[in-house]
A = this chain, B = another copy of it.
């Protein structure tokens, strides 16, 4: 088995988890009060995955994620101010307010693509890994997607190509058991997504994506493999989304017991308690950490609202490398 993780790693993971959760809470709050107007796909309940992955990544490693991907980007290091300014549609946002929550991009922290088209990020991630192969830059590309995405053609083509070309990329499927309102079994013919890796002759592993240690171990192995020229890995991380597909979804299609059990097993308080039990941190220390995060989010939010909207000349910019007339 992998050797036990250090206290620092545990606290780093928890820090990211708390950041993701608080950030999500605040986004939802701002949406309820009408201050943010946007489509939003909460990842509440899925905090562990990107937290455990990201502590294994270098700042310049590449991330390709999806509409439900703000947690991935935040875990990767995306600055909160830039994020919030983008959510608020301001010209200081990561994408000058032109992309929005579904298209967060921030190359400085390796957040290269956020796509709203299910599955499409998989070939793109493969291409980023290909660029690393040519540039010999030692980067690993990680790409996130959902269980439903494993049924679309781009998944198949991307994994096959990455394997044939043995590229440094890690495919991370967050299996939260639903694709929009469609339960896993209704859309996916096989019992696990991990087993699909066999079709591409790459390692496929299913892991409890809500268990930080287990998730960390699997992610580390895959990232190391990629970095060391061992090619791609498919990880199926089992998890659950607490807030439905998007804001407004009442999760009517999820049996009440399933939802209750998932929330009961919320990885966040569980991990928080475990950290204390292990003696890695006291309640006070964690509370202080959380308060710092809260402050940071508050500052980002205030900053965002203080910024200007982009001017209409932006419609002529970034369509091509030069401005349109």
Residues of A within 8 A of B (CB): 151-157, 159-160, 163-164, 186-191, 195-196, 198-202
- CB of A107 to closest CB in B, whole Å: 28
Q: How far is the CA of A322 from the CA of B187 in the complex (A)?
A: 38
- CB of A38 to closest CB in B, whole Å: 30
Tell me what chain A mostly uses at the interface: helix, strand, loop, or mixed: helix
Contact of A199 among B152, B186, B189 (CB under 8 A): B189
Q: 30 pairs across A/B with beta carbons < 8 Å?
A: A151-B156, A151-B157, A151-B160, A152-B153, A152-B156, A153-B154, A153-B156, A153-B157, A155-B156, A156-B156, A156-B157, A159-B189, A160-B187, A160-B188, A160-B189, A163-B189, A164-B188, A164-B189, A189-B199, A189-B200, A189-B202, A190-B198, A190-B199, A190-B200, A190-B201, A191-B201, A195-B198, A195-B199, A196-B199, A198-B199
Q: How far is the CA of A275 from the CA of B198 in the complex (A)?
A: 40
With a cutoff of 8 Å between Cβ atoms, the chain B residues found around residue A152 in the complex are: 153, 156-157
With a cutoff of 8 Å between Cβ atoms, the chain B residues found around residue A187 in the complex are: 160, 164
- Apart from A151-B160, A199-B199, list 15 A-B contacts with CB within 8 A: A152-B153, A152-B156, A153-B153, A153-B154, A160-B187, A160-B188, A164-B187, A164-B188, A189-B200, A190-B200, A190-B201, A191-B201, A195-B199, A198-B198, A198-B199
Report whether B164 and A186 are in contact in the complex, using a CB–CB cutoff of 8 Å. Answer: yes
Q: How far is the CA of A323 from the CA of B218 in the complex (A)?
A: 62
Q: How far is the CA of A186 from the CA of B156 in the complex (A)?
A: 16
Q: How far is the CA of A198 from the CA of B196 in the complex (A)?
A: 7
Q: How far is the CA of A153 from the CA of B160 in the complex (A)?
A: 10
With a cutoff of 8 Å between Cβ atoms, the chain B residues found around residue A199 in the complex are: 189-190, 195-196, 198-199
With a cutoff of 8 Å between Cβ atoms, the chain B residues found around residue A198 in the complex are: 190, 195, 198-199
With a cutoff of 8 Å between Cβ atoms, the chain B residues found around residue A159 in the complex are: 189
A195 nearest in chain B by CB position:
B198
With a cutoff of 8 Å between Cβ atoms, the chain B residues found around residue A196 in the complex are: 199
- CB of A255 to closest CB in B, whole Å: 20
A158 nearest in chain B by CB position:
B153
